Amino acid sequence: MICQKKTSEVNELPPRLLEREEIEILDPKCKPIQHSVTRYDIERDVNDLLKRGITTTFAGGFFFIPYLLQLDAHTLFQSLVPPKKAGIPNDRVALGLVFESLFGLKEGIRSINPISQKDFGLLAGLPFLPSPSTQYRFLQAIPYNSSLTFQVALAKKLVQLGHVVPGSPINIDGHNIKTYSRKAMKKSYITQEGRYGKAIRTFYTQDQLSKKPLITMAAYSGTAVSQITRCITDLTRDVLDRSFLLVADKEWYCGQLIQELHQENGVSILTPVKQSKKRLVEFEAVPLDQYDTTIFGNIATLYTTIKNCDQPLRLFLKKGLDGKYFGLISPDLSLTGSVAMPTYTKRWRIEDFFLENEFLGVNRLPSLNLNSIQAMLSLRLLAYHVLDNFRHDLGPDFRNKTPKTIYRDFINGVQGRIQLRGNTIEVRIYGFQHDAVVSSLMSDLDDQLKCADVEPRIPWLRNRTIQFKFS
């Protein structure tokens, strides 16, 4: 009778829940195997896991779930790729990739301890781990422009939450990710090595005050800044809904680009002056009485012009004690030297971003297909903001900790047990070094989320809520 009842219940389910999909998953030895799955199988197996309960040595991964809810990740994924009606849900493959970044698995899941497979999959609402080939096919199916739409929606969410306040200068920089592929492509100048080579060029804009990246775009070797800057600044302006000061390095010293961005897009570039022989003669001709003594050195504020730009530009000239010059130019004639110089020094925050977040995989490529790279960059951008919001809430002692340190102190080795209690997923944490800090943050989580106008139910875990208990 029991079997007949179960069969009857299955037959009454909508056909789409029973439609099978052939995918690859990882077996206990992390080897890919073929697997036939239905949506019903996934929901049933996840439910069974939660009812039985599982132990984990990575319980800290569940600390990030409230922050995914805060950023409305489930809705964001729908802008990335349309939901599937059957088989493995797209949003759960995307979530798995986000958690891979948070766990520092830059090359995908290839060597996870078999004991931890189910709890890692459960973070994304799956009873198994998709193979790298399944993840790759997911990335390959995402159009390039859909990834940009995803990023704009994510960045607007940051503005809405007050994590990014429009008005701060915006840093911009290009970052090369070397590739040794035999695929024919133009070469880019790789500054770290002082040579030309094949690389994927990634371009980022970053809010200077919060240090949060806003938009990132991928391009092939040989892409010049003039070919991509207009698009990335348009997207950034769409996020901020206002014009801004764009702080760049010498690669953006281009008269036509500076003029077009200022006149047509309302964006003013602040960039160093390239010191040609003609320019050095101009610098030497500046009288000493035009220099003002500031805490940033002796600075003269002048007007100048450059090739292919028919509007006057502001020149901020600094003369060092060694007699060497450093100059900045901008089409923003209202800018002052006391603002321009410290603003430019904070451009290095975007260089620090590349260095500090290597752990998240910002320097790793999923393939050479540009749409796949763009999709992966977008998911890693989400992973960064989830982690950054978490460490910010932990307090001043943790706000400058690197992703690698956060993983070491708050994820790896944190013992816990996950079990369903009614319609609530209970995550019981067994004492770790920072449990007092996290327990104060995660107490009364439902009420905290509702107070912040965040839906506390987790869409990828059958709309259940989550509760943390610390023992």
Q: What does the pLDDT look like over 145-176, one tens digit per residue?
A: 999 999 999 999 999 999 999 999 999 999 88
* Alpha helix segments (H runs only) across 210-364: 225-240, 255-265, 277-284, 337-345, 348-356
Provide, rounded to the nearest whole percent, the portion of the chain with pLDDT above 90: 71
Instruction: Pick the range with the lowest mean pLDDT from 23-27, 111-115, 260-264.
Output: 111-115
What single-letter amino acid sits at 170?
I
Q: What is the pLDDT of residue 468?
A: 96
131 vs 210: CA distance, rounded Å: 36
Domain ranges for the chain, please list them. Answer: 18-142+414-470, 266-344
What global pTM score does this model have? 0.92
Quick one: pLDDT at residue 186?
72
pLDDT one-digit tens code per residue, 338-361: 899 999 999 999 999 999 999 999
Q: How far is it, in rounded angstroms, from Cα 225 to Cα 247?
A: 13
Mean per-residue pLDDT of the chain? 90
CA–CA separation, 175 vs 191, rounded Å? Answer: 9
Structure tokens, 453: 């106008």
Question: How many whole angstroms separate alpha carbon 130 and alpha carbon 115?
Answer: 16
Q: Is 273 helix (H, G, I), strand (E, B) or coil?
A: coil
Half-sphere exposure of 223 (CA within 13 A, CB side): 19
Confidence of residue 109 (pLDDT cuts 50, 70, 90): low
Two structure tokens written together for 147: 């990834």
CB 27 within 8 A of CB 33: yes
Q: How confident is the model at residue 449 (pLDDT cuts 50, 70, 90)?
A: very high
Q: How far is CA 379 from CA 26, 178, 419, in A?
A: 21, 20, 28
- CA of residue 83 relative to chain centroid, distance: 22
pLDDT, residue 61, reads 95
